[in-house]
Amino acid sequence: MKGFLAIAVSCVFAFQAYAAGSFDDYKKSVMGEYKSYLDEMDRQFSAFLKQQWKEYKGQKPVKQFDEPKPVVQPETKPVAKPEPVKIIAKPAPAPVVIPAPKPEPVKEQPKAETPKPVVKPREEPAEPKEPQPAFTGEIPEPKPFYAPTEGDSVDMTFFGVSLSIPYDKKIKANVQKPVSSDNVAKWWEAVASADYNKSLAVLQKTAKETDLSDWGYVMLVDRFTSKLMFEASEQKMLAWFFLVKSGYNAKLGYTKSGVTKLMLPADSSLYDISFYTFDSKRFYLVNTLEKISTSTDALYTYKGNYPTATKAVSFVNMKQPKLSFARFDRDLSFEYDKNKYTVKAVANKYDIAYLTSFPQTDLPIYTSASVPQWVDKTILPTLAGIIQGKSTEESINILLRFVQTAFDYKTDDQQFGKEKSFYAEEIIYYPYSDCEDRSVFFAYLVEKLLKKDVVMLNYPDHVATAVDMGDKTVGAYLTYKGKKYSVADPTYINATVGMVMPQYKSVSPEIEETGI
């Protein structure tokens, strides 16, 4: 794909040719040359797609925990002076080196048969427009960010946010059957010739104004393209096109039966999702509209990427998205030192629905994500009042007792039938939580209320935390990066800081930073 930048370089010198003319003339010239540059990239990428696609075998999903978590929440009695136990942290894991696959005979993609006439899917009938009812005093649905434009547009809601996204009918091109590299290349040429930028601009502007994470943007693209394409394989192709044009290193593949699959790399490990490896990089199967795929079917795909599509999906330090708001209230009660307390908490149902489609990933992703203000403003002031005037050690013990006993315990497998780690807000909404959910939430409370550094202790079947208490250590402790951290387990009922479950006294956990 050499020569992609040659046209772009000529734009640098375009101003000289128009120095004596108007700025509008210069602007038209630059835009024209940039359009030619993009057209040339698409032509060359299409030619690249026509080359022989190879067959790649899928790899089974990786599990987040090596062993099942305890089914019953463990309980103990508080101890004034916990036994001093030195916890030896497991050495940081070496970078994962994915061995290069052994050379195998290249399996040719299925030969394309003579294409049969493609019957365009029937358009869904438009819903009849009803007159707007008079205002009744209720809060209306959020107004669209963008007023509907002339021409065709998709009117949709994204977790309560109303959107109107214009589109060029040409992007609804159908791919010739059977699916093959040649037919995919022809489809790319057809869609790239459309005015896709009118849709792309609104999608990207929406993501920016609502602070969507990269995965949130993938969800937005998935939902937009599902409104345009009724056939699942073609919807995946259109999502692939828009993600590539958005700069993501997305890949398209297809099975022998012609089912298309969308793949994306990520900047952290994803669990319970099948993946394919290209140049020692994992590309995970993406489908935010259906159940997460664990299929390892062989796929035909290309090696390489669109020149400007280089980004992996990032989950690090995610901002709180600006979605619509549907209030959920919960009273969280606990007892400490014979005193009973109730903490009122609020969650947003739209946030909960949004996070449902997120894949399972590394613990620091959950702790580093922003926590919404309605959680901060309800839980933190109440707890701050309860611990006011208390020592650091007692404050930690109060926060431990709160998280240990205010939430009912069930493993993810018991509650969801699968592994699902919570972001901080989710523990408020769901009726049950387990060890990593409580550890994420406890780390948030300690770092916000006490300004103390917390690390996560990741065992094969359990997650706990440890707190930097300065010069003082209590009971079980570990040393990490020159600091001493005292163990604090928000799942171990009645355990105070420094207490560790007996079965973990001689187990070395992996240490993970919170990133808060």
Contact at 8 Å (CB) between 360 and 440?
Answer: no
Contact at 8 Å (CB) between 161 and 199?
Answer: no
Q: Is pLDDT larger for residue 91 or for residue 73?
A: 73
Query: Which pLDDT value is given to residue 94?
Result: 54
Residue type, 419: E
Contact at 8 Å (CB) between 33 and 250?
Answer: no
The C-alpha atoms of residue 308 and residue 8 are separated, in whole angstroms, by 13
Q: How large is the average pLDDT for residues 439-456?
A: 97
Tokens of 483: 């600091």
Instruction: For residue range 303-323, list pLDDT tens digits in order.
Output: 888 999 999 999 999 999 999
50-54's contacts with Cβ under 8 Å and 24+ in sequence apart are 50/181, 50/182, 50/185, 51/181, 51/302, 52/106, 52/108, 52/109, 52/181, 53/109, 53/181, 53/300, 53/301, 53/302, 54/106, 54/107, 54/109, 54/300, 54/301, 54/302, 54/303
Query: Which pLDDT value is given to residue 292?
Result: 72
Which contiguous run of DSSP H or E holds residue 378?
helix 373-387
Instruction: For residue range 56-88, list pLDDT tens digits in order.
Output: 999 999 998 888 898 999 999 988 889 989 999
**Of the ranges 20-24, 224-228, 327-331, 476-480, which one carries the lowest mean pLDDT score?**
20-24
Instruction: For residue range 369-403, list pLDDT tens digits in order.
Output: 999 999 999 999 999 999 999 999 999 999 999 99
User: Which residues share a beta bridge with 465?
Assistant: 456, 488
CA distances (Å), origin 72, targets 54, 342, 356, 404, 439: 49, 25, 25, 13, 17
pTM above 0.85, yes or no: no
Contact at 8 Å (CB) between 468 and 454?
Answer: yes
Tokens of 158: 């994204």
> Which residues, in sequence order, are CB contacts of 388 under 8 Å at separation 6+?
none
Instruction: For residue range 182-222, list pLDDT tens digits in order.
Output: 999 999 999 999 999 999 999 999 999 999 999 999 999 99
Query: Which pLDDT value is given to residue 509?
Result: 96
Contact at 8 Å (CB) between 51 and 292?
Answer: no
Kindly provide the residue ranges of all beta strands, DSSP E only, lying in 273-319, ordered along the sequence.
275-278, 281-285, 299-301
Contact at 8 Å (CB) between 189 and 42?
Answer: yes
Query: Which pLDDT value is given to residue 471?
Result: 83
pLDDT for residue 179 is more than 70? yes
pLDDT for residue 488 is more than 60? yes
The C-alpha atoms of residue 123 and residue 324 are separated, in whole angstroms, by 29
Tokens of 118: 């493609």
